[in-house]
Every structure is written in C-alpha cells, then in structure tokens.
Amino acid sequence: MQFSRREFSKLIFGAAALSLVDIEAYAHIFDEKNSMRRLATRSASGEGFWGNLKIDGKVPKDLNGSLFRTAPGKSDSYGVKLKHLFDGDAYMTDWRFKNGNVSLRGRFIPEKRRLEELKAGKMLYGEYGTPVPGGGRGGKNQPNVNVVEWRGKLLGLSEGSLPSIIDPETFDLEGYESFEGVVPDYLTFTAHPRFDQKTGDMLAWGFEMRPPGTMHIIRVSRETGKAETLYKAPQLGFNMVHDAMLTENYFVILIAPMQYNIAMLQQGKPLGDAISFAANTPTRLYAYPLDNADGKAKPISLDLPPYLIFHYGNAFEMDGNQIRFEAVTSTDGRILEVLRNWREDKIPEFERPTLKQITVDLEKRSVISSRDMANDVEFPRYDMRRTGAESRFLYLAEKLYGADAAVVKVDLNNGKSLRTVSNKNRTLAEPVFVPGNSKTGEDKGWLLTQGFDAVKDENFLEIHNAQNLDLAARVWAGGQHFPLGFHGNFVDRK
C-alpha cells in the first residue's frame, strides 16, 4: 500500500493522538521541517469569529474582558518563504471572556500595503528579514509585535514607524497615531511602552531613521492624549532597543550592543540581515529623570557587560539611589542567527538566555550585584499594577516555542521557581497576568497563556491560578491554528 505525503501526515498525527509516536519523531521524519518551532509559527488557518468554544475545566467567572494579541500571521508571502521570525502581516486575536464563556475573533489587520499585495497577488514589499525577490519596495508598518489599549482604542505596535490605531471590535485599521504630530513619521516607535500607574500616562521612545539616529523620549497624557518630548539624545550608531523600564523617578533604557550595519542597509540588505551583536562593546544604561519641566535634566549613565537583551521585568528604586531590575540576557550572538533563519530546516545551536536580577548604583555609576534567576526563559511579565515599585513575582515562558515549553513563576525574593507541566506535543508562549477581584496580593489572579497543540493542529488558551500555577481551564480555538506571536494584553470589560 502506498501513501501520499498528506495521507502519511494524517496517519502520523493519528498515531501521535494515540501516544504511539510523538510529534518530535514526526518532525525528524520530515527532516525537522515540521518541528514545533515551525508548526507553532506558520500562517494562520483563517479569519473569522468562533463562539461556543470547547473548554476543558471551568473559566473563572470573575474573568471578564479581552486578551488581545498580535503576531506575524504569515510564514510565506505568495510563494516566497519568509525567513525571519519577525516577518509576516499582522494577525490580531481577541479571546473574549464573559461570565465563564469564551469567544475568539481573528483577523489580519487590513494595512494598506497588505491590501496592495492582495490585489496584485504577489509580494511587493520587503519584510524585516526577507527582501522581495528581484528587488521591490520598502517595508510595511505591520503592527505584529504588541498591542495595547489606549484611550478606548487599540494601538498596534511594530517598531517600524507610527502606532496603528485599531478598532477593538472589528480590527479595522483607522489610521496612525502621531500624538498630535509630536511623533513624526520618520521616527521609530517602541513596541513596549511603559505606563505610569498613578497617572496612566504612557512613556515611550523612538529613534530617528536618519543620522545620527537621535533618540526621542516621549510622555503622553492619558487624560488628554497630548504628548511631550522629554529628551532628544543623539546616538553614535543605530542599535536595536526593544524594551525599557519605568521607576518612580526615572525612565530607564539600556542601549545593548545589537547594532545595525548601515553599509549593508545601503546595499539593500534587510534589517534582519544587517543586525549583529558586538560582543566586546559594553551595554550602556541611561536613567532619565521624569521631571524635566525646565528642560535642564540630564540622564545618569553607566556601563554594564555586553548583553544581548530583548525584554525586562520590573524595576524599582532602592535606598542610596540604587535601582534593581530583571532582564533576560545572553552573550551569544547566534540568537540573531536563529531568528533570521527561523524557517530553515536547521537552526544554529546557541546558549539559552538567562534571567538576571541586576542592581546598579546611580551615584557611583556602577553595578552593585548581578545574580542568575532562571535559564532558557523569555517574555517576562508581572503584575503591571506594581510598575515602578518592588514586585516579588515574575512569570516567564520557559523553552519558548519548544515541544517541552512551560510557564515559570520566579520568586524574586528567594529565587525559588514553580513551573507548569507541559504536554510533550504542546508548546506555550507569553504568560499574561490578570489581577483577580482582590486589590491586594500581586499573585492573586490568573495567568493567560496561548499555546499550540501539534496533534490537534489547533491553538488553545490556558488559564492558570497565578499563585500555584494550577490549571483552571483550557479553551480551544475552534479548530484554528495561528502563530503564537510575541505579546498581548488583557483589557477589562466589567
């Protein structure tokens, strides 16, 4: 008897469902082309609304609102394989909770350049790590990295240019947010704004896309929507700065030595190919005072070891003008190779990133201490109500996009960890903390974690008790699969 490739695939998946084989064995049969890494980040299966979702367990009835997430929604573009993990048109999801029931909406954001390609039926615009074969136009401003609620709308964030204004009910694109012209369109805009918990104001930054790459630090009023530029700081080169931190009195930003090669960009190379890790260049920390009403405040700077950094936990001020924060760090530039070759059959071996807790002394401009807290982790989240104040717990994805991924809770006081027990045929992404009804207790709430089941070929959302990581419910995605993506946030609808 002979089987087609598709029939053999179904046979293997069926055997996996009966625990006769596991998905990793299936991956090796096809030369790793269907490894969990690729299965969990391939193109979305469809767009639409799915109600009456299957739920294993019970959804807490005090959980009412929407978990909005965005992701690079495509792994290919009209026959062109997209190389980089960051590549792909933005696909937005809304897991909506109401009185113990859950629905799901998924849609590609109708960005104008995506619509041009749909009409033309071919790839017209380059991606972060994939050029148009034979040459093409500039890149898209795809809001595929993060999404935040802002004054009743959603801001889709890409770091390519201005935030996209998205209707939270329809996912229609309503335009781009320049904050009354304070943020020009030649400025990048962070995918990780921080929010002052007392005022609700947004702290953000971006870099001018022209020499010398001047950095703008911006504060936007939650009440009025008006923005002001707190600082303009010329840079010595173009570096990738993905995240930052906010304390009571400082906006803290680290310039890690992840540098773009301008000569390569001028030759037409994509951004993903032109970035490298300068292992002998220190990381520079800047603490910008939030009070700069007279325009005379100056940042405090100090050097840290060379780190490749994408994400931070919380940060807070201590006695003696010290600041303590958590960062997921690495010293292995091969991570950038992994990202740019994400959809290749093989990826380089690399050292897994480490969660470090770092304390710096702003007066002495030195590092006081650094200790390792967890290994092979990413996407740190915490109770955002504690932003700028001391927090005890951090939640992270362990072995991200792997077949044995888990959610980890790290106690920052004693260094102890709790973790979920993951099914070997499933993977998990970023855990998002949602506070419970209690106004006290930073781990009294829920963790919402999107995942992918390779046997069912379907996404799901897990709800864990944040205190003990016990599973309350698993909500299935109506038979759909879509890339797990990077970031999202919960919006109350009580």
Return the structure tokens found at 17: 């469902």
Same domain? 42 vs 22: no
3-state secondary structure of 324: strand
Do residues 376 and 410 share a domain? Answer: yes
What is the model's pTM? 0.92
Q: According to DSSP H, which parts of 301-403 are helical?
A: 334-340
Q: What is the pLDDT of residue 452?
A: 97
Tell whether 255 is covered by a domain. yes
Supply the range of the domain harboring residue 272. Answer: 35-107+231-492
Claim to verify: residue 17 and residue 53 sit in the same structural domain: no
CA contacts within 13 A on the Cβ side of 204: 30
Three-state helix/strand/coil letters over 204-236: EEEEECCCCCCEEEEEECCCCCCEEEEEEECCC
Shared domain for 68 and 13, answered yes or no, is: no
Residues 62 and 4 in one domain: no
Same domain, 438 and 469: yes
First to last CA, the chain: 58
Half-sphere exposure of 210 (CA within 13 A, CB side): 4
Q: Let me know whether 330 and 407 are in one domain.
A: yes
* DSSP for residue 357: E
Residue 438 lies in a domain: yes
Residue 3 to residue 11: CA distance in whole angstroms: 9
Per-residue pLDDT of the chain (494 residues; tens, 9 = 90+): 444 434 444 444 444 444 444 444 444 333 344 589 999 999 999 999 999 899 999 999 999 999 999 999 999 999 999 999 999 999 999 999 999 999 999 999 999 999 999 999 999 999 999 999 988 777 888 999 999 999 999 999 999 899 999 999 999 999 999 999 999 989 999 999 999 999 999 999 999 998 899 999 999 999 999 999 999 999 988 999 999 999 999 999 999 999 999 899 888 899 999 999 999 999 999 999 999 988 999 999 999 999 999 999 999 999 999 999 999 999 999 999 999 999 988 889 999 999 999 999 999 999 999 999 999 999 999 999 999 999 999 999 999 999 889 999 999 999 999 999 778 899 999 999 999 876 667 899 999 999 999 999 999 999 999 999 999 999 999 999 999 999 999 999 86
Q: What's the total number of domains in the chain?
A: 2
> DSSP 3-state assignment of 345?
coil
Are 70 and 90 in the same domain? yes
Same-domain check for residues 293 and 312: yes
Prior bond of 184 cis (ω within 30°): no
